[in-house]
A and B are shown apart, each in its own frame.
Chain A
Amino acid sequence: MRILWGRLSWRVVRWPLLIVGLFGVLVLIRIPSVMDRQATMKMVAQVHASRLSSDDIAGTHLPPAPDVEKNDAVLAGIDANHNGIRDDVELTLFAQYPVSSSSLLPMRAAALQYAKALQRYLTVVTNGDTLTAVIQEDERGSFCIRDTIPKPKQTDNDALWDNYFSAGTQQMQHIEDLVLNTPERKQAYQDAFKKYMTSYGSIGGAHCDLVSTSTSV
Chain B
Amino acid sequence: MRYASFFAIGALLLFVAPSVQAASCSSSGVTAVYVNGVLTTDDQAKSDKAMLEQIFRERSGRSDVRFVAGYNPTHIAGTGDVLKTIEQTYQGIADEPMEDYDLKTILQQIHSEVTTKQIVLIGYSQGTFYTNALYDYLTTHGVPAYAISVYNIATPASFVAGRTASDGAYLTSRNDAVVNIVRKLTMLDGTNQPLPANITLALAPGESTQMFAGHSLAGDYLVHAPVRIANDVIRTLSLLSAPSVAAVSVRGMSGGAAASGGCFDAPPRDLVYQAEQAAFALADPAASSTVAVGAAAYSATAGALSVAVSLVTGMANTAYAMGASAVAVVADAFASVPPEARVAGVTPAVADAGSVGAAIAALPNDALVPPAATISATEPRPTPPVIAAPVAILPTSSPVIPPPSTTTPPTESFLTHLLQIATSTVNALLHSSTGSTTPSAVTISGGGSGAGAPPDTTPPAAPVISIAECAYSLAASSTQPCLLAAVGASVQWGSDADVDHYRVLIDGVLATSTAAATAGVLLADAHTSSVTVVAYDAAGNAATSATVLVSVQTHPVIINEISWAGDDADAGAEWVELKNRTPYQINLSRVTFVSADGAVYAPLTGTLGVHFGTNRTEYFVAYRTREPATPVYTGQTLAVSFPALSGAVRQLEVVQGLGVLGTTTLDATPAVGACGGSWCAGALASTTGVKSGGVPAVHSLSMERVDAAADGTTASNWATNDRYVIADLSDGNGDPVYATPLADNTAHLPNIGWSCGSDTAIVPGATYRPNSTSCTYLSAYIDDGVARTAALYGGTVGSSTVVSSHSVSHSSSVQTDTIPPGAQAGDPFFIALYLSDTQTDAGFATYFTTGATSTPNNFYRVIPFTLAP
Contact = CB atoms under 8 A, between A and B. Distances in A.
B46 A135 contact: yes
A45 interface: no
Nearest to A25: B11
A201 B113 contact: yes
A15 B1 contact: yes
Interface string A192-214: 01100111111010000000111
Given A200-B68, A217-B804, A193 B42 contact: yes
Contact of B55 (A147, A165, A217): A165
Nearest to A194: B42
Interface string B30-70: 01000000000111011000110111011101000011111
Interface in B82-135: 106, 109-110, 113
B249 interface: no
A15 B7 CA distance: 12
A32 interface: no
Contacts of B814: 103, 150
A26 interface: yes
B41 A215 contact: no
B774 A106 contact: yes
Contact of A19 (B8, B42, B45, B54): B8
B259 interface: no
A87 interface: no
A152 B774 contact: no
B774 A103 contact: yes
Contact of A214 (B41, B618, B759, B816): B816
B773 A214 contact: yes
Max count, chain A CB within 10 A of own CB: residue among B1, B11, B815: B11
B4 A16 contact: yes
Contacts of A19: 3-4, 7-8
Contacts of A193: 41-43, 45-46
A215 B803 CA distance: 9
A162 interface: yes
B774 A22 contact: no
A42 interface: no
B189 to A, nearest CB: 35
Contact of B54 (A143, A152, A159, A201): A143
A197 B821 contact: no
B106 A151 contact: no
Contacts of A135: 46
Given A165-B55, A214-B818, A150 B758 contact: yes
A212 B58 contact: no
A135 to B, nearest CB: 6
Nearest to A150: B774
B358 interface: no
Given A161-B226, A165-B226, A199-B109, A106 B773 contact: yes
A204 B11 CA distance: 36
A19 B70 CA distance: 41
Contacts of A153: 758-760
A136 B227 CA distance: 24
A212 B820 CA distance: 9
Contacts of B806: 102, 217
A105 B774 CA distance: 10
A216 B50 contact: no
Interface string A16-54: 100110110011001000000100000000000000000
A148 B71 contact: no
Nearest to A164: B58
A127 interface: no
B488 interface: no
Contacts of A30: 14-15
B794 to A, nearest CB: 10
Contacts of A156: 758
Contact of A198 (B58, B109, B759, B802): B109
Interface in B202-243: 222-224, 226-228
A170 to B, nearest CB: 8
A159 to B, nearest CB: 4
Max count, chain B CB within 10 A of own CB: residue among A27, A142, A162, A213: A162
B73 interface: yes
A168 B47 CA distance: 13
A214 B226 CA distance: 31
B403 interface: no
A190 B816 CA distance: 37
B454 interface: no
B805 interface: yes
A210 to B, nearest CB: 11
A169 interface: yes
B613 interface: yes
Given A19-B7, A151-B757, A166-B613, A158 B46 contact: no
Given A193-B46, A202-B53, A22 B11 contact: yes
B457 interface: no
Nearest to A158: B227
Contacts of B3: 16, 19
A165 B612 CA distance: 11
Contacts of A197: 42, 45-46, 71, 73
Nearest to A145: B54
A120 interface: no
A162 B220 CA distance: 12
B10 interface: yes
Contacts of B288: 194
B773 A169 contact: no
Contact of A146 (B4, B58, B224): B58
Contact of B70 (A16, A146, A161, A199): A199
A169 B821 CA distance: 30
Interface in B795-812: 802-806
Interface string A96-129: 0000001101100000000000000000000000
Nearest to B46: A135
Contacts of B54: 142-143, 146, 165, 168
A138 interface: yes
A197 B772 CA distance: 35
Interface string B546-578: 000000000000000000000000000000000
Max count, chain B CB within 10 A of own CB: residue among A138, A146, A214, A215: A214
A139 interface: yes
A81 interface: no
B627 interface: no
Contacts of B18: 37
B11 A23 contact: yes
Interface string A69-102: 0000000000000000000000000000000001
A169 B113 CA distance: 27
B340 interface: no
Contact of B71 (A16, A147, A199): A199
Nearest to A216: B804
Given A190-B41, A199-B68, A201-B66, A23 B46 contact: no
B817 interface: yes
Contacts of A214: 773, 804, 816-818
B760 A198 contact: no
Contacts of A167: 613-614
19 contacts: A15-B1, A16-B3, A20-B7, A102-B806, A139-B50, A139-B53, A142-B50, A162-B613, A163-B611, A163-B613, A164-B58, A169-B223, A193-B45, A197-B42, A197-B73, A201-B68, A201-B69, A213-B773, A217-B804
Given A106-B816, A162-B226, A213-B773, 15 more contacts: A15-B4, A37-B18, A106-B774, A138-B46, A139-B53, A143-B57, A146-B54, A146-B58, A151-B58, A154-B59, A168-B54, A193-B45, A194-B288, A199-B69, A213-B818
Interface of A: 15-16, 19-20, 22-23, 26-27, 30, 37, 102-103, 105-106, 135, 138-139, 142-143, 146-148, 150-154, 156, 158-159, 161-169, 189-190, 193-194, 197-202, 204, 212-217
Lowest 7 CB-CB distances: which A-B pairs, in order?
A193-B42, A199-B109, A214-B818, A159-B611, A201-B68, A197-B42, A201-B113
